């Protein structure tokens, strides 16, 4: 413990976004024992804060921000996209089979063979599962492609894991993921690599979703914390998949995980599907399928009973909904929680939120429901010509998609997640897609319904202060203010001022958690 006034570290920048104000602060952030002890304006004397061991880092015009929180991640999904054999450089299934055969020779007889990264477009066609049946009649083989839409797998794998090649969502792969998590030494290594990757993106906190009780994963997180090797704030969320929602587990998790670095947040429930494939639940029929509101019906009464019970037990819930009908039902369910259950401080949220109806956005704000949006989502489309929103919604509803401006205007506390590994967190990519409103190829030139996007300041607030508010940690994190932890990210340029065409080139150069460096390229 530093017993005098001197700082351990002082950061100087002309461009400090504190998240306590939209105006940039120019000056010094003074840090001692992991906490910000002073914010000194430029031109004032900082010598009173300097001691023989004080480190001063002059950052010039680089943008300094609070550390970022990715409010919707799946470590297990990230793990499964990197576990086993890398097929990303293969041109066809014949090449891949040769690599798989060589890898299998290094495994024991009982081991499954995992692979990842092959490209359907690069191969030109979906691979034949019978080829794997012939080569590996007994050993389960699963090779997931690079966009997580298809698994090349044999009959032994289908029988073992209970999913099929074209139905391979993370939820469908739950038994496979549990098998991967059982390799505890590998999981520890992968968690450390995961944390290091996040630090390189300026991420200092996440809300991570696990399936069911996930004992192996929760033990791995707890071990990192107990060994003082967890340089990341983690809020854990359980999504019931293979088992019914388990409130007894939730109570144990609340009692076990409640520190500043590792805490249990609550439960997540999937609602509808994906609008792009007509399984999102819509109030009006799809424009390209006039008889269809949703090809995957939702049991809203069962969902209502689960969420009411979770709320009554004191748990916060995240409901994953895309279509405007699904979102409306979720809002109704949360309203029922307030009406029927005892009063308490709640942090319920709706995630994904692709197409909320304009009438429902003010209801979210009035009920205190948080929004978790995927700000990088436009980057799933190569260009405006390939985007599907008009085809599904029609001319009248196209602009209803990703209307972030309406969320902020109504006062909905909006946070940002990536659904990692759907996206790897990137504030520059988020700004390019959600603020500039460009697709991958830069189209359209003036931005796709740009007036419905976020401002750059709003985006930074969503990544920082709003997430801390959602997690109930705003007194300790989420902004750069005296008395708060020094969780900080620094970019190589001022993202709030650089031109649209330079935004995606920006890079994080320094990340701190409680004043300790977790990433540094300066």
Q: What is the mean pLDDT of residues 296-317?
A: 97
Mean pLDDT confidence for 269-284: 97
What's the pLDDT tens digit per position in 255-273? 999 999 999 999 999 999 9
Distance of CA 410 to the CA centre of its chain: 23
pLDDT, one tens digit per residue, over 151-200 is 999 999 999 999 999 999 999 999 999 999 999 999 999 999 999 999 99
Residue 489: both structure tokens together: 């990210």
Model confidence band, residue 2 (pLDDT cutoffs 50, 70, 90): very low
- Report the pLDDT value the prediction gives residue 416, as an integer from 0 to 100: 98
Give the list of residues 6+ apart from residue 41 with CB closer than 8 angstroms, or none: 25, 26, 27
Residue 424's nearest CA partner among 106, 2, 6, 68 is: 68
Q: Is the pLDDT of residue 1 over 70?
A: no
The secondary structure of residue 127, as a DSSP letter, is: P
What percentage of the chain carries pLDDT values higher than 70?
A: 99
Beta strands in 132-246 (DSSP E): 141-145, 151-153, 203-211, 233-239
Query: What's the whole-number mean pLDDT along residues 305-317?
Result: 98
Cα–Cα nearest to 472, from 344, 306, 323, 309: 344
Q: Is residue 449's pLDDT more than 60?
A: yes
What's the average model confidence in pLDDT over 475-482? Answer: 98
> Average pLDDT of the chain?
96
Q: Which of 218, 203, 119 is nearest to 420 (CA)?
A: 203
Model confidence pLDDT, tens digit, residues 45-77: 999 999 999 999 999 999 999 999 999 999 999
Cα–Cα distance measured from residue 182 to residue 216, given in angstroms and rounded to the nearest whole number:
6
pLDDT tens for each residue of 327-370: 999 999 999 999 999 999 999 999 999 999 999 999 999 999 99
Residues 6+ apart with CB under 8 A from 206: 69, 70, 71, 73, 198, 232, 233, 234, 235
Q: Show the beta-strand stretches assigned E in 52-202.
A: 55-58, 63-66, 68-73, 85-86, 113-118, 141-145, 151-153
- The pLDDT assigned to 502 comes to 95
For 392-439, write each residue's pLDDT tens digit: 999 999 999 999 999 999 999 999 999 999 999 999 999 999 999 999
Report the pLDDT value the prediction gives residue 138, as an integer from 0 to 100: 96
Burial class (CB within 10 angstroms; exposed 0-12, middle 13-18, buried 19+) of 134: exposed
Place of tokens 């910000």: 36
pLDDT of 493: 97
Per the DSSP assignment, residues forming a β-bridge with 25 are: 16
For 325, residues 6+ apart whose C-beta sits below 8 A from its C-beta are: 272, 281, 282, 283, 293, 294
- Residue 324: pLDDT band by 50, 70, 90 thresholds? very high
Q: How high is the pLDDT of residue 5?
A: 79
Structure tokens belonging to residue 384: 């405006």
Helices (H), 90-154: 93-104, 120-123, 129-135
Q: Supply the pLDDT for residue 3.
A: 46
Residue 378 parent element (H or E): none
Per the CB < 8 A criterion, the answer to whether 75 and 194 are in contact is yes
Q: Quote the pLDDT of residue 22.
A: 86
The kind and range of the H/E element at 77 are helix 75-80
At 4, is the pLDDT very low, low, confident or very high (cuts 50, 70, 90)?
low
Q: Are 264 and 253 in contact (CB under 8 A)?
A: yes
């Amino acid at each position: 413990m530093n017993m005098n006034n001197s700082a351990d570290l002082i950061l100087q920048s002309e461009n400090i976004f504190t998240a306590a104000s939209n105006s940039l602060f120019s000056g010094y952030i003074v840090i001692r024992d992991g906490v910000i002890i002073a914010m000194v304006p430029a031109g004032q004397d900082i010598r009173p804060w300097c001691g023989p061991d004080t480190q001063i880092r002059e950052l010039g015009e680089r943008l300094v921000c609070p550390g970022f929180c990715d409010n919707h991640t799946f470590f297990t999904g990230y793990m499964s996209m990197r576990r086993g054999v890398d097929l990303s450089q293969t041109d066809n299934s014949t090449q891949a089979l040769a690599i798989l055969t060589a890898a299998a020779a290094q495994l024991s007889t009982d081991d499954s063979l995992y692979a990842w990264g092959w490209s359907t477009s690069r191969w030109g066609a979906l691979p034949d599962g019978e080829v794997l049946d012939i080569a590996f009649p007994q050993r389960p083989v699963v090779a997931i492609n690079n966009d997580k839409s298809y698994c090349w797998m044999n009959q032994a794998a289908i029988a073992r894991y209970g999913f099929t090649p074209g139905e391979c969502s993370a939820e469908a792969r739950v038994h496979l993921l549990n098998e991967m998590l059982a390799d505890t030494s590998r999981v520890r290594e992968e968690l450390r690599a995961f944390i290091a990757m996040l630090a390189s993106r300026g991420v200092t906190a996440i809300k991570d979703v696990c399936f069911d009780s996930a004992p192996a994963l929760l033990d791995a997180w707890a071990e990192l914390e107990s060994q003082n090797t967890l340089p990341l704030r983690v809020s854990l969320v359980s999504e019931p998949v293979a088992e019914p929602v388990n409130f007894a587990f939730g109570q144990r998790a609340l009692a076990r995980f409640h520190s500043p670095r590792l805490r249990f947040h609550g439960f997540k429930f999937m609602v509808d599907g994906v609008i792009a494939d007509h399984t999102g639940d819509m109030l009006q029929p799809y424009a390209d399928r006039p008889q269809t509101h949703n090809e995957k019906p939702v049991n809203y009464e069962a969902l209502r009973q689960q969420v009411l019970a979770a709320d009554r037990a004191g748990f916060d819930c995240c409901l994953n909904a895309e279509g405007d009908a699904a979102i409306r039902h979720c809002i109704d369910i949360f309203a029922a929680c307030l009406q029927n259950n005892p009063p308490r401080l709640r942090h319920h949220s709706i995630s994904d939120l692709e197409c909320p109806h304009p009438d429902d956005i003010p209801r979210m704000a009035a009920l205190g429901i948080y929004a978790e949006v995927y700000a990088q989502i436009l980057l799933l489309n190569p260009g405006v010509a390939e985007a599907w929103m008009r085809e599904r919604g029609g001319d009248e509803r196209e602009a209803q998609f990703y209307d972030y401006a309406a969320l902020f205007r109504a006062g909905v506390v909006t946070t940002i997640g990536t659904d990692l590994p759907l996206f790897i967190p990137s504030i520059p990519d988020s700004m390019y897609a959600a603020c500039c409103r460009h697709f991958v190829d830069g189209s359209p030139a003036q931005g796709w319904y740009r007036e419905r996007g976020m401002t750059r300041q709003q985006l930074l607030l969503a990544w920082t202060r709003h997430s801390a508010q959602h997690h109930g940690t705003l007194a300790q994190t989420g902004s750069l203010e005296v008395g708060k932890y020094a969780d900080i990210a620094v970019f190589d340029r001022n993202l709030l001022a650089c031109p649209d065409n330079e935004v995606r080139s920006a890079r994080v150069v320094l990340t701190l958690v409680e004043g300790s460096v977790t990433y540094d390229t300066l």
